[in-house]
């Protein structure tokens, strides 16, 4: 009887250990770059609150015990297996699971695919957190999009479960310490208040940490607001480095071969090189249209010639929707530009004359 009782205890633990130990992907840091699935159209559909003023987004390192996280994430399931094997008392085990869930969530927030997978397992199985397959599917999706093999296979078992659309509170970006307001010169030369981006837009940009890191590094060199650059990337490719349009626009900022060649881009599918080309094009368009974001967006989508021909946003459904998407994300009508750098658009001269 004793042997049978022991076997009954060991058998499920062994199965659990086998399941968890299969996720043995080494993680160099809990601060890996994140690729969290987010859809721009969802922001457009759900955005009802007044925009919150937020400075250009930067990713802050969390105040967590990184040594503890790295130890656990060398094998992301090690702590879970240890708890299962160590504690017979369910109440004690649950308290320990809860501590691990907090650690994993902090690491998952900053993009660690192993932590996202392990936390997803905890939500799927109700270990230290309330069981929730929708949240589990969301976390597995985050990890799977970073190439996490185990997350992909586990996600397939939840094919009928729609992932939760709202992020866990511990995955949301920290709010800025206080609102910041900057001024931007408008097209007519006066100062316009930068209204900032909304909380939902900020959360989207934060969630694309690998791309945001590149943009934050490059945008100042081109005198481009990082939030404007991220808005164009979001609308152009939804942050897909390998995106290719039917018109052969390529990469994050969807550069057609002619534009890529114009701004010295050799490989449009390399994130940093693509962003450099896109920023160079934006800098040119901003100078050409003297900071008018609406005209810049229209020209980026339809070409400068189309904007000149129609004396404003062309009457193309695609372009008009595109301009609205950029406006919703960036939330400003004007942007600083390099004066007397390029010859201004004839359209602006016409507007000045008629005005």
Tokens of 21: 């130990």
User: Looking at 131, 150, 171, which one is the last position of a domain?
Assistant: 171
Same domain, 73 and 126: yes
Residues 6+ apart with CB under 8 A from 247: 256
Same domain, 105 and 225: no
In a domain, 250, yes or no: yes
> With a cut of 70, which residues of the chain have pLDDT below it?
1-93, 173-194, 350-355
- What are the tens digits of pLDDT across the range 60-92? 333 334 444 444 444 455 556 565 555 556 666
Same domain, 217 and 319: yes
Number of domains in the chain: 2
Cβ atoms of 78 and 69 closer than 8 Å: no
User: What is residue 221's DSSP assignment?
Assistant: G
Residues acting as catalytic residues: 236
- What are the tens digits of pLDDT across the range 81-123? 565 555 556 666 677 888 888 888 888 887 888 888 989 998 9
Label the pairing between strands 191-193 and 183-185: antiparallel
The model carries a pTM of 0.52
Same domain, 191 and 264: yes
**Residue given tokens 């985050």 in the structure block:** 142
Planar angle of CA 19, 20, 23, nearest 5 degrees? 105
| Local structure of 292: helix, strand or coil | strand
Other CB atoms within 10 Å distance of the CB of residue 161: 17
- What are the tens digits of pLDDT across the range 159-175? 899 988 888 888 876 65
């Amino acid at each position: 009887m004793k042997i049978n009782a022991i076997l009954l205890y060991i058998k499920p633990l062994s199965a659990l250990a086998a399941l968890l130990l299969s996720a043995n992907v080494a993680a160099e840091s809990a601060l890996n770059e994140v690729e969290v699935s987010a859809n721009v159209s969802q922001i457009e559909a759900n955005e009802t609150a007044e925009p919150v003023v937020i400075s250009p987004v930067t990713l802050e390192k969390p105040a967590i015990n990184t040594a503890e996280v790295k130890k656990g994430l060398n094998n992301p399931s090690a702590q879970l297996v240890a708890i299962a094997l160590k504690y017979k008392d369910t109440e004690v085990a649950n308290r320990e699971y809860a501590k691990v869930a907090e650690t994993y969530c902090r690491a998952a927030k900053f993009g660690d695919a192993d932590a996202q997978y392990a936390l997803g397992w905890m939500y799927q199985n109700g270990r230290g957190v309330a069981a929730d397959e929708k949240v589990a599917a969301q976390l597995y999706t985050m990890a799977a999009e970073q190439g996490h093999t185990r997350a992909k296979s586990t996600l397939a078992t939840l094919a009928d479960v729609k992932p939760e659309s709202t992020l866990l509170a511990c995955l949301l970006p920290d709010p800025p310490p206080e609102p910041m307001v900057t001024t931007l010169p408008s097209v007519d030369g006066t100062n316009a208040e930068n209204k900032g981006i909304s909380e939902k837009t900020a959360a989207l940009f934060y969630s694309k940490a690998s791309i945001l890191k590149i943009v934050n590094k490059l945008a100042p060199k081109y005198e481009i607001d990082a939030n404007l650059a991220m808005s164009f990337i979001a609308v152009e490719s939804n942050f897909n480095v390998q995106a290719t349009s039917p018109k052969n626009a390529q990469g994050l900022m969807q550069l057609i071969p002619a534009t890529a060649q114009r701004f010295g881009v050799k490989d449009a599918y390399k994130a940093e090189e693509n962003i450099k080309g896109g920023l160079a094009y934006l800098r040119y368009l901003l100078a050409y249209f003297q900071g008018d974001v609406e005209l810049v967006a229209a020209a980026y989508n339809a070409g400068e010639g189309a904007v000149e021909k129609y004396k404003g946003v062309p009457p193309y459904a695609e372009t008009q929707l595109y301009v609205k998407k950029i406006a919703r994300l960036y939330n400003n009508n004007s942007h600083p530009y390099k004066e007397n750098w390029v010859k201004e658009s004839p359209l602006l001269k016409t507007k000045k004359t008629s005005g």
